[in-house]
C-alpha cells in the first residue's frame, strides 16, 4: 500500500445521503461549473436535490479524475488543479512496497475550454493501440446543464497532445455530457454520452415535455480518435445525469450500461451491445422497480466476467416489507440480463459510487462510505468469481474526495482515491 500527495484543492464535500428522495427536485440534473482562477470559484456549482425539499448544498468538488495504467506499467492521472487547469502526471512502476514517485503535473492545452470534473462527469484517460493516449472531458456551455464532449489525442505515448476536438457532430447548445469511451478488440474506439437533442425537439403539453429523460448516443472512430463517424442513437429515455459504464465482453464487443427510464417512470438500468447495426436492442439489467421523478446522479459500473459481466449500481428496491436504498452487486448473463440469485447489497449502508473490476476469479468492488464528515475507502474482494466476498478497509480522509477508481495492469489491481490533499493508491491483496 502506498500513496502520494498532490497540492490541496478544496474544502469539505457535502455528500448526498443514500436515501435521498430525488423525486422532489423536478430539475434533478446539476449544472457543471466552469473553472476559475480561485479555489472558491473552481468549487462553485449549482445546488442539488435534497431529501424533502430543494435547498442549497455545499459546492461540488472538482476532484473528479481519470486514472489508468500505461502499457509500461506507469500509473497516470488526469484532473483539474486548484486553478481549474487540466493536468496530467504519472508515476513509474515500482515494487509493491515502494512509494510511488509522481512526476510534476504537466498542464495541457485545452484551447481555453472550461472543464467539468465533479465526480460522475469527470475527465477520462484511455490508452489505445499504437502509442495512442486519449483524454476526454465535458466542456460546459453557457446554458445550464449543457456541454460538448471534447477529446485530446496523443500519438506519441502522451508526450504531446493535439488541441481538443468535439467528438459529436451535433453542435446545439444542449446536453452532450457524461461521456464514456473504450477500445474494442479490433481497436475501434467507441464513445457514448448522454444527449438531449430528442428532448429539445419533442412537443410540450401544458409546458411540459412529452419526452422522458434524455437519450444515449454514440459514435465510433476507426483511426484512434483522429476522426469520428456519425452520431448514432443507442436508446431513448435515459436518466439525465448518471454516468455510463462501458466494458468489453468476452466476445470482444463493447457494451454500454446506463440508468434507463422504463415505463411508467422506473429508473432501472439497461445494457446494449455497441454493434454496427443501426437497430441496437437494449436489455434490462436491473429490476429494482425504483419509481422516481428525478436523476440520482449515481451511475453503474461494469466489467466482463467470463461469459457474462459483473456490475454494481445504486437503487431503492423492496426487500421484505421495506424499501431499501443501497449499492448492489450482481452477475449478468452474456446478453446483459440479470442473474437474480447473484444480487446482493454491499455490506455498508453508506456505500456510494462503487466501482468493479475482475481478473479471472478475482473480483474487486470498491466504494466510498461517508458519514458527512469522514469518508472511508472500502473494498469487497472475492477469490471465487463473486460467490463470496470479504471486506477490507483501505483508507480514511476528512474533507473533499473523489470517487474511488479501480485500475489494472497485468495480474495486478489497485484502487486510486484522490482527495483534497493527496492521491492514495492501494494495491489490492486477495
The answer to whether the CB of 418 falls within 8 A of the CB of 65 is: yes
Residue 59 — very low, low, confident or very high, per pLDDT cuts 50/70/90? low
Q: In the prediction, which pLDDT does 95 show?
A: 67
The ranges assigned to domains in the chain are 2-427
Q: What is the mean pLDDT of the segment spanning 306-322? A: 95
Give the model's confidence band at 27: pLDDT under 50 very low, under 70 low, under 90 confident, else very high. Answer: very low
Predicted confidence at residue 278, as pLDDT, reads 67
H-helix or E-strand spanning residue 312: strand 308-319
Could you read off the pLDDT of 346-371 as tens digits, one per residue?
Answer: 999 999 999 999 999 999 999 999 99
Mean pLDDT of all residues in the chain? 87
For residue 356, give the 3-state DSSP assignment.
Answer: strand
Q: Which residues contact 66 (CB under 8 A, 6 or more apart)?
A: 77, 78, 79, 122, 123, 124, 125, 126, 135, 136, 405
Average pLDDT, integer, range 399-403: 94
* Cβ-based neighbour number of residue 97 at 10 Å: 8
Give the whole-angstrom CA distance, residue 160 versus residue 401. Answer: 29
Residue 14 pLDDT > 70: no
- Residue 46, pLDDT > 50, answer no
Measure CA of the first residue to CA of the last residue in the chain; give whole Å.
13
- Mean of pLDDT values over 13-33: 36
Residue 294 has a pLDDT of 85
Q: Which residue has the higher pLDDT, 57 or 230?
A: 230
Which pLDDT score is estimated for 396? Answer: 96
pLDDT digits (tens, 9 = 90+) for 207-224: 889 999 999 999 999 999
| Mean predicted confidence (pLDDT) in 306-325 | 95
Question: Residue 157: what pLDDT?
Answer: 98
Nearest to 167 by CA among 109, 225, 240: 225
Q: Evaluate whether 62 touches 41 at the Cβ level (below 8 Å).
A: no
The C-alpha angle 67, 69, 71, rounded to 5 degrees, equals: 145
Which whole number is the average pLDDT over 119-146? 96
Confidence band, pLDDT 50/70/90 cuts, at residue 38: very low
For the stretch 77-114, pLDDT in tens is: 999 999 999 999 999 987 666 788 999 999 999 999 99
**Reported CATH class of domain 2-427:** mainly beta
Which strands sit side by side in the sheet containing 308-319, from one edge to the other?
301-305, 308-319, 322-332, 344-345
Beta strand segments in 92-187, E: 106-107, 124-127, 133-140, 147-154, 165-166, 176-183
What local confidence, expressed as pLDDT, does residue 279 receive? 75
For residue 192, what are the β-bridge partners?
A: 180, 218
Whether the predicted pLDDT of 3 surpasses 50: no
Amino acid at each position: 500500500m502506498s500513496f502520494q500527495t498532490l497540492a490541496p484543492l478544496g474544502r469539505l464535500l457535502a455528500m448526498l445521503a443514500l436515501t435521498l428522495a430525488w423525486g422532489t427536485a423536478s430539475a434533478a440534473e446539476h449544472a457543471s461549473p466552469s473553472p476559475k482562477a480561485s479555489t472558491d470559484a473552481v468549487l462553485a456549482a449549482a445546488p442539488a436535490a435534497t431529501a424533502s425539499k430543494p435547498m442549497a448544498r455545499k459546492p461540488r468538488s472538482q476532484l473528479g479524475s481519470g486514472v489508468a495504467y500505461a502499457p509500461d506499467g506507469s500509473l497516470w492521472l488526469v484532473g483539474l488543479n486548484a486553478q481549474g487547469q487540466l493536468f496530467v502526471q504519472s508515476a513509474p512502476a515500482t515494487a509493491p512496497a515502494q512509494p510511488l514517485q509522481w512526476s510534476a503535473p504537466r498542464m495541457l492545452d485545452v484551447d481555453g475550454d472550461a472543464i467539468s470534473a465533479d465526480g460522475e462527469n469527470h475527465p477520462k484517460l484511455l490508452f489505445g493501440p499504437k502509442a495512442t493516449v486519449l483524454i476526454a472531458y465535458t466542456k460546459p456551455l453557457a446554458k445550464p446543464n449543457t456541454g460538448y464532449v471534447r477529446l485530446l489525442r496523443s500519438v506519441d505515448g502522451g508526450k504531446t497532445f493535439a488541441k481538443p476536438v468535439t467528438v459529436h457532430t451535433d453542435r446545439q447548445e444542449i446536453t452532450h455530457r457524461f461521456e464514456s469511451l473504450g477500445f474494442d478488440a479490433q481497436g475501434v474506439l467507441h464513445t457514448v454520452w448522454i444527449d438531449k437533442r430528442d428532448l429539445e425537439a419533442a412537443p410540450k403539453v401544458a409546458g411540459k415535455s412529452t419526452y422522458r429523460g434524455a437519450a444515449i448516443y454514440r459514435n465510433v472512430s476507426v483511426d484512434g480518435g483522429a476522426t469520428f463517424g456519425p452520431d448514432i442513437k443507442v436508446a431513448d429515455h435515459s436518466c439525465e445525469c448518471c454516468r455510463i459504464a462501458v466494458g468489453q465482453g468476452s466476445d470482444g464487443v463493447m457494451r454500454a450500461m446506463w440508468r434507463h427510464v422504463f415505463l411508467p417512470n422506473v429508473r432501472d438500468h439497461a445494457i446494449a451491445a455497441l454493434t454496427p447495426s443501426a437497430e441496437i436492442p437494449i436489455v434490462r439489467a436491473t429490476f429494482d422497480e425504483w419509481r422516481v421523478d428525478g436523476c440520482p446522479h449515481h451511475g453503474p459500473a461494469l466489467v466482463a466476467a467470463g461469459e457474462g459481466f459483473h456490475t454494481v449500481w445504486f437503487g431503492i428496491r423492496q426487500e421484505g416489507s421495506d424499501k431499501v436504498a443501497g449499492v448492489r452487486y450482481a452477475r449478468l448473463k452474456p446478453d446483459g440480463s440479470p442473474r437474480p440469485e447473484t444480487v446482493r447489497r454491499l455490506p455498508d449502508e453508506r456505500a456510494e459510487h462503487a466501482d468493479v473490476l475482475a481478473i479471472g476469479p478475482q473480483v474487486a468492488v470498491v466504494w466510498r462510505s461517508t458519514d458527512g464528515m469522514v469518508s472511508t475507502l472500502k473494498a469487497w474482494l472475492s477469490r471465487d468469481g463473486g460467490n463470496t466476498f470479504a471486506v477490507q478497509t483501505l483508507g480514511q480522509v476528512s474533507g473533499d474526495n473523489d470517487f474511488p477508481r479501480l485500475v489494472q495492469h497485468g495480474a495486478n489491481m489497485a484502487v486510486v482515491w484522490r482527495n483534497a490533499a493527496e492521491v492514495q493508491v492501494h494495491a489490492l491483496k486477495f
